[in-house]
Structure 1
């Protein structure tokens, strides 16, 4: 850690020294000013942030927590120059690694820095087991208080579903970049065009989505080249998404009606590489229209059989429901050990609460299959719920080849547990809050009484 601080200090001294040289040599103020940077210059900082995060992940796996902490901190610092809050997450991640490395003061310093830069997830930080040894420290309490103030300020400024931003700008920008890239044969040139013309001038939400889901533009280009017919076929449909704005706002309004504490972050619609129909990040809800826009006759070449079934089962008319589902994710603050049960409650609560707000909406495609086989699914889930064997339960569309099993059943069983928890609760508003702020998944399961349904 001392080396890292020394490097940072040396960098600062370097810039101060350069400025002084210019002044001492008689140069004018104008002469030492750097020219205005191109709009997409931040992409270099984004790439650095990604590489630092990648190195941090490798160090974590090797249990080299000193190294992981420094790499995460460097990612956090690099994020300062990115026009999106997407890199804020690396502050708390660095703090976790510093705790594991036995450096509590550095962990507190990173939590303080994250709070100052706008981190809002106070409850998840306060409940995180990794920070148990810090909870009594005044600095920890002050950092959490600052995060809570950030959270409250954000909520107060985002209460009204009618003023939340629904951002479609990146969709047209993608297709313009797509047309430019299609004139090239080189993968690297295509990737460069997408970076410059799609990501470079993109919205904060697109940047957020790119970090969380897209990965790299090279990966994106591979998907475009594997499935050109699919992308050509969905273009018109993706451009229709803004027609659902009224229904989307109605869905958000209904959720606020049943949970008045809710804030309503912005919603950004993007085109991705067919690996996520929706997620949530620091910017709000993020919707991948590429997953929702298939219609009969659009080619499915290059897409796995499992994911073909996904896009065939999804429809653009479901956008209002999926936006509310992602709205739930944007509000959630889960903490604790990431088990199969934990993951099931994260997704299941989003499904259940979205359905509570929109009871007329069609249930997701896995529900019909699940309801007909619920006890069988529960028995298998019960055996694996305390493990980390998530591949049988979520994001496994491309892996399910057995007719006796179905994809994303973690969503289904999680929603059924959440429904049981809500039904048994006398205070329904508290039950909703409980499902948004989970630190002990097994306590939710026990209180729900769901398991008792299958007792012999």
Structure 2
């Protein structure tokens, strides 16, 4: 219902036009239904899929060209469904692929990596006006639509495209937000450390690319993601100074998941490793655990420390019981006992212990390998997760 309410704010002008005319404009309806006003890679690609389902292959190809021009850096993002793959056999594919190759070339130098914080500045301007009339339109116009590609992507893939939820978050967490404001407004200070780590990653894995990292303020749904093909997107509402943060508005899950800014670099590099991964799409619990564990493991190689140290303290102490329990479920597709389960774990048990198991599998593979640089490449390009697990020798 909240998402519908927010969407209606956007659609009202369109529906008003329909009420005044008997001519239904399919293109206008399609535009708003698919959030095309956001003009992000993910929206354009998903709309291309809808065009293909409707039998409009020319429209689908046109949308994929637009998506490529927005900065898509991975051709696999453009063909997520079997019915789209025929496009790779058309003359237009060469144009699309060349645009993506050009983008990858632009992103291949870690020294030029963009660290974007402009959305944070825009958020605070809106936050200070959160009680005034018309705040819904103000958020959409001055925060979302004026925001970066990263913010617009995050709004679509992680914020339910809901202005209503943004307003509720501002109002229900105003003391907390004020307490993290100084930290959020000084995130550019991390750029030298991020660039230095990116340089280490390039030395470890020469094919690496370095698309933008965008800091934004979301609604407490995820700390970091690369979903949507707009680079690494970081929810700065999770970043605080533990000496000054005010927690009394936070539920237990949020209070346990906020991070001191000193821990930020591990999150950034974890997400950057996800950008580098060119694996087969994960399907089973084992696949997903290795995919996440690989990001943690390669991050440790880059940084020299483990960004999930608390999880590993618990995991190392309970590995003999964790592994048999994981093994029973690893070939299935249910993963809520092991991944993304921050609100459903027993007291004293860390969330996301599938990350730990995936890390240990990658570690075992790497330790067995004579050629360590090749091992890193293998970890980042897995095409058969079950075979990779078997080759690692973990738990066997």
Alignment TM-score, normalising by the size of structure 1: 0.71
Q: Which runs of 5+ in 1 are unaligned?
A: 1-42, 49-69
In 2 relative to 1, CA 80–140 (structure 1 residues): closer, same or farther, beyond 3 Å?
farther
C-alpha deviation, 1:44, in angstroms: 8.0
After the TM superposition, which residues 2-21 of structure 1 pair with which residues of structure 2 at under 5 Å, given as runs? Answer: none
Q: Is residue 91–residue 114 contact of structure 1 (8 Å, CA) maintained in 2?
A: no
1:414 pairs, out of 358, 377, 383, with 358
Q: Is residue 217–residue 235 contact of structure 2 (8 Å, CA) maintained in 1?
A: yes
SS at 1:252's partner residue? helix
SS at 1:286's partner residue? strand
SS at 1:287's partner residue? strand
1:171 aligns with 2:120: yes
Equivalence for 1:84: 40
What do the CA deviations read for 1:78-116 (whole angstroms, capped 9, x no partner)? 566534334133157548x84xxxx9x867984685256
Find the aligned partners of 1:444 and 1:75 in 2 and give their Cα distance.
43
C-alpha deviation, 1:146, in angstroms: 5.2
What do the CA deviations read for 1:185-223 (whole angstroms, capped 9, x no partner)? x7xx44333223221311111111111212212112222
C-alpha deviation, 1:336, in angstroms: 3.9
Q: Is residue 44–residue 63 contact of structure 2 (8 Å, CA) maintained in 1?
A: no
SS at 2:215's partner residue? strand
Q: Is residue 174–residue 198 contact of structure 1 (8 Å, CA) maintained in 2?
A: yes
What do the CA deviations read for 1:30-78 (whole angstroms, capped 9, x no partner)? xxxxxxxxxxxxx989967xxxxxxxxxxxxxxxxxxxxx99x947995
C-alpha deviation, 1:253, in angstroms: 1.0
> Which piece of structure 1 moves more, 393-402 or 425-434?
425-434
In 2 relative to 1, CA 428–274 (structure 1 residues): closer, same or farther, beyond 3 Å?
same
C-alpha deviation, 1:258, in angstroms: 0.7
1:279 pairs, out of 215, 225, 230, with 225
Equivalence for 2:245: 298
> Which piece of structure 1 moves more, 214-223 or 333-342?
333-342
C-alpha deviation, 1:138, in angstroms: 8.4
Find the aligned partners of 2:92 and 2:311 in 1 and give their Cα distance.
42
Q: Is residue 205–residue 376 contact of structure 2 (8 Å, CA) maintained in 1?
A: yes
In 2 relative to 1, CA 143–352 (structure 1 residues): closer, same or farther, beyond 3 Å?
farther
Equivalence for 1:268: 214
After the TM superposition, which residues 285-324 of structure 1 pair with which residues of structure 2 at under 5 Å, given as runs? Answer: 285-311=232-258, 314-324=259-269
Equivalence for 1:180: 129
Q: Is residue 299–residue 306 contact of structure 2 (8 Å, CA) maintained in 1?
A: no
Equivalence for 1:122: 75
Q: Is residue 445–residue 451 contact of structure 1 (8 Å, CA) maintained in 2?
A: no
Equivalence for 2:319: 374
Q: Is residue 395–residue 407 contact of structure 1 (8 Å, CA) maintained in 2?
A: yes
1:221 aligns with 2:177: no
Find the aligned partners of 2:271 and 2:177 in 1 and give their Cα distance.
24
In 2 relative to 1, CA 117–125 (structure 1 residues): closer, same or farther, beyond 3 Å?
closer
C-alpha deviation, 1:449, in angstroms: 1.0
**Superposition RMSD on alpha carbons, in Å?**
3.3
After the TM superposition, which residues 8-407 of structure 1 pair with which residues of structure 2 at under 5 Å, given as runs? Answer: 74=30, 81-90=37-46, 93-94=49-50, 98=53, 110=60, 113-114=63-64, 117-118=67-68, 119-123=72-76, 131=82, 139-140=88-89, 148-181=97-130, 183-184=131-132, 189-215=134-160, 216-280=162-226, 281-311=228-258, 314-336=259-281, 338-360=283-305, 362-403=307-348, 405-407=349-351
In 2 relative to 1, CA 309–417 (structure 1 residues): closer, same or farther, beyond 3 Å?
same
SS at 1:373's partner residue? helix
Find the aligned partners of 1:143 and 1:386 in 2 and give their Cα distance.
39
Find the aligned partners of 1:368 and 1:82 in 2 and give their Cα distance.
43
Find the aligned partners of 2:314 and 2:194 in 1 and give their Cα distance.
27
What do the CA deviations read for 1:300-323 (whole angstroms, capped 9, x no partner)? 234331332222xx2211222221
Find the aligned partners of 1:270 and 1:138 in 2 and give their Cα distance.
34
C-alpha deviation, 1:288, in angstroms: 1.0
Find the aligned partners of 1:447 and 1:141 in 2 and give their Cα distance.
38
C-alpha deviation, 1:168, in angstroms: 0.9
In 2 relative to 1, CA 293–244 (structure 1 residues): closer, same or farther, beyond 3 Å?
same
Equivalence for 1:30: none
Q: Which runs of 5+ in 2 are unaligned?
A: 1-5, 12-25
In 2 relative to 1, CA 155–374 (structure 1 residues): closer, same or farther, beyond 3 Å?
same
SS at 2:225's partner residue? strand
Q: Is residue 355–residue 361 contact of structure 1 (8 Å, CA) maintained in 2?
A: yes
How many residues were matched structurally?
371
Equivalence for 1:438: 382
